[in-house]
């Protein structure tokens, strides 16, 4: 069986450094070799590939189109190898740092208040909490696990369901004391409805669930995070539709009122998402087991 078609790792390291610095001199200083040695290694790589990677001018160099493509590829590969090496060295025997990409409001309202019990049980693991609610890119964000809301279909990852979500209508007490209090669903038409920008269909989902079809919807502000929606509702900017776990403290304190007793299941669930390559790391396993025990 033929071996891998791979050039010298030393030549690749040198090429990546030269491309990054756009200089043989600075790359040679970084790698602690002579400039001529760095140039020779890059030449050997070009000979191996039978492709010119740099255009060489009298006082400068520039990547060719093929060189630019290859430098991006090689840099990504070396970054991954470096990250994996650091990973193994820093996490021997289950120790090290666990980086958690958490949804901002879920993290502050639900996860963070419970983390002390994990730290008491596993003091050998340091936690690094990263506010993260965009597209999942574990390599770019350098996170080990993430909490996401969705339907469990993240590629190249293990997704374990944590909890479903109940959503409910809330508003400022001042609205209940005003001209059009929310004594029935029809009263919603007199108020602006605050939207969560990452869940634009949430209100429509709620309307269908409770069996109403309002004719005169007035849309209020569209906000990116739940905690912004909460503050907008408290300030009386409109009516909000929020997960029960997000608003329970504010309802209990009287900052918000839940005018309707109905709670509707949300169009998705919270998941613990782990890249497949890291799912069996000791620190990831113990955190997953602990988090699942918290929701059960």
Return the pLDDT at 259.
95
Residue spans of beta strands (DSSP E) within 132-285: 145-150, 157-170, 192-196, 218-223, 240-243, 264-275
Nearest to 12 by CA among 42, 55, 51, 50: 42
Return the pLDDT at 183.
94
Under a CB-based contact definition with an 8 Å cutoff, are residues 195 and 219 in contact? yes
What count of Cα atoms within 13 Å lies in the side-chain half-sphere of residue 127?
A: 23
Contact residues for 286 (Cβ-Cβ < 8 A; gap 6+): 94, 122, 125
Return the pLDDT at 177.
93
* pLDDT tens, position by position, 95-132: 678 889 988 888 888 899 999 999 999 988 889 998 87
CA dihedral 40, 43, 44, 45 (to 10 degrees): 130
Under a CB-based contact definition with an 8 Å cutoff, are residues 229 and 223 in contact? yes
Return the pLDDT at 68.
95
| pTM > 0.85: yes or no | no
Helices of type H across the chain: 9-21, 24-31, 35-49, 65-90, 104-106, 115-121, 138-141, 173-176, 202-210, 226-234, 244-253, 282-295
Q: For residues 46 and 43, give the distance between their C-alpha atoms in angstroms, rounded to a whole number.
A: 5
Q: Residue ranges of the chain with pLDDT lower than 70?
A: 1-2, 87, 89-95
Q: For residues 11 and 31, give the distance between their C-alpha atoms in angstroms, rounded to a whole number.
A: 11
């Amino acid at each position: 069986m033929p071996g891998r078609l791979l050039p010298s790792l030393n030549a690749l390291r040198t090429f990546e450094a030269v491309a990054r610095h756009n200089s043989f001199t600075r790359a040679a200083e970084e790698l602690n070799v002579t400039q001529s040695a760095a140039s020779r290694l890059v030449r050997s790589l070009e000979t191996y590939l039978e492709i010119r990677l740099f255009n060489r001018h009298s006082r400068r160099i520039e990547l060719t189109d093929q060189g630019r493509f290859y430098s991006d590829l090689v840099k990504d590969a070396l970054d991954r190898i470096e990250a994996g090496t650091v990973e193994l060295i820093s996490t021997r025997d289950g120790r090290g740092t666990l980086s958690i990409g958490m949804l901002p409001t879920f993290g502050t309202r639900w996860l963070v208040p419970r983390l002390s019990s994990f730290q008491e049980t596993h003091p050998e693991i340091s936690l690094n909490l990263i506010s993260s609610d965009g597209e999942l890119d574990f390599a770019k964000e350098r996170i080990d696990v993430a909490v996401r809301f969705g339907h469990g279909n993240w590629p190249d990852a293990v997704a374990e369901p944590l909890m479903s979500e109940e959503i409910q209508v809330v508003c400022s007490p001042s609205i209940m004391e005003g001209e059009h209090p929310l004594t029935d669903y029809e009263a919603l038409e007199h108020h602006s409805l605050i939207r969560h920008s990452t869940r634009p269909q949430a209100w429509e989902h709620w309307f269908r669930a409770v069996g109403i079809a309002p004719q005169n919807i007035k849309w209020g502000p569209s906000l990116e995070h739940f905690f912004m929606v909460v503050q907008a509702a408290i300030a009386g900017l409109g009516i909000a539709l929020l997960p029960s776990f997000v608003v329970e403290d504010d309802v209990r304190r009287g900052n918000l009122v839940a005018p309707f007793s109905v709670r509707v299941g949300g169009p998705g669930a919270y998941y613990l998402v782990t890249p497949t390559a890291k799912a069996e790391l000791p620190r990831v396993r113990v955190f997953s087991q602990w988090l699942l025990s918290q929701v059960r």
